[in-house]
Amino acid sequence: MKRPRIGKVRYINCEPVYSGIEEGAVAAVCDLVAGTPAELNRMLARGDLDISVVSSVAYAQAPGHFRLLPDLAIACDGAVGSVLCVSRVAPERLGGEQVLITSESLTSVYLLRLLLERGYGVRPVYRHGEVPETLPPDVAAGLLIGDPALRAGHARRYPHQLDLGHAWQELTGLPFVFALWAVREDFYRDFPEKTRELHRALLASKAYSLGRVEALSAAVHGRVGIPEAACLHYFRKQLSFDLTPRHLEGLERFLASPELDGLVARPVPWRFVERE
């Protein structure tokens, strides 16, 4: 068989799942392919990837095409640090204002709309496009994800920043799941043992990396441009890579929201790779 292709978000939020494999501490016969969340969503849907981290909304739009890998997610239970709406004005004053939203993330865009409209009662004018770390003068706010959000949060360049993970927990009391790991249904059907082997490798890599998170922070913080201590806090206190029943409860609450009517399957079936 061909070498399986596994998608990896190019931001450091994926490092604790992949660094063990990349360093050779965990054996995995595969090719890792980096991209933005939106790029990986498209590549997995087209069959250019066999397994990938995938947006929660992208999975929920076509759950019959994929199986989920248990115990793997990019989530948070409170502030996440890397999904921020930075703004020149307070969130409650964004009604009718221009808000620039990234084309790189599907789930974060819908979460921002939900939080602003339900939590703050405002309906901005959303503009899709690249969101620079320095906002254009004609927009009031912008949605940043990944490494740019971490830099913006540390620099506090704007007087207001809404952490979407924190705002979701304040609204619901639940964790938020931004992304899941999924395998294409056809790859899983043809190569079930290879799928389980790669799943075991990803879990082992996660355990290895989180067991040496100080070294990981020292290795990658300069790539982002934040202090090592901030990177360590991000890995230890803000990100969660688990997918527990409580995480799924939070995801189900989000996917059932009226803001996603007509966009996702209802109810979303959780179709997992079967364990041995």
Q: Looking at the structure, do residues 152 and 185 belong to the same domain, yes or no?
A: no
Q: What is the pLDDT of residues 101-156, one digit of tens each?
A: 988 888 999 999 999 999 999 999 999 988 998 999 999 999 999 999 999 999 99
| pLDDT digits 0-9 by tens, 12-26 | 999 999 999 999 999
One domain, residues 196 and 69: yes
Q: Are residues 89 and 163 in the same domain?
A: yes
Q: Which of 123, 154, 172 is the last residue of a domain?
A: 172
**Structural domain tally of the chain?**
2
Laid out side by side, the sheet with 83-87 consists of 125-128, 98-101, 141-145, 83-87, 160-163
Give the residue numbers spanning the domain of 192. Answer: 5-76+176-260
Same domain, 187 and 71: yes
Burial class (CB in 10 A: 0-12, 13-18, 19+), 40: buried
Question: Is residue 118 assigned to a domain?
Answer: yes
Residues 66 and 89 in one domain: no
Q: Are residues 143 and 161 in the same domain?
A: yes
Whether residue 65 is found in the same domain as residue 88: no
- Average pLDDT in the chain: 95
- Tell whether 145 is covered by a domain: yes
From 192, 47, 66, select the one nearest 56 (Cα to Cα): 66
Question: Is 267 among the domain residues?
Answer: no
User: What pLDDT does residue 102 have?
Assistant: 86
pLDDT of res. 226? 97
Q: Are residues 87 and 168 both part of a single domain?
A: yes
Tell me how far apart the terminal alpha carbons of the chain are, to the nearest angstrom: 21
In a domain, 29, yes or no: yes
* pLDDT surpassing 80 at residue 1: no
Tell me: do 166 and 48 sit in the same domain: no
Residue 266 confidence (pLDDT): 87
Query: Are 35 and 92 members of one domain?
Result: no
Judge if 21 and 158 occupy the same domain.
Answer: no
The CATH number for 197's domain is 3.40.190.10
Tell whether 60 is covered by a domain: yes
**For the segment 147-179, what is each residue's pLDDT rounded down to a tens digit?**
999 999 999 989 999 999 999 999 999 999 999
DSSP bridge partners of 7? 33, 52
Q: pLDDT tens, 24-54?
A: 999 999 999 999 999 999 999 999 999 999 9
Q: Per-residue pLDDT tens for 236-273?
A: 999 999 999 999 999 999 999 998 999 998 889 999 99
Specify the pTM.
0.95
> Residue 105: its pLDDT value, please?
83
* 21 closest CA partner among 12, 30, 13, 9: 30
Domain assignment of residue 272, yes or no:
no
**Is residue 269 domain-resident?**
no
Is residue 276 pLDDT above 90, yes or no?
A: no
* pLDDT at residue 124, rounded to an integer: 97
Boundary (domain end) residue, out of 157, 172, 187? 172
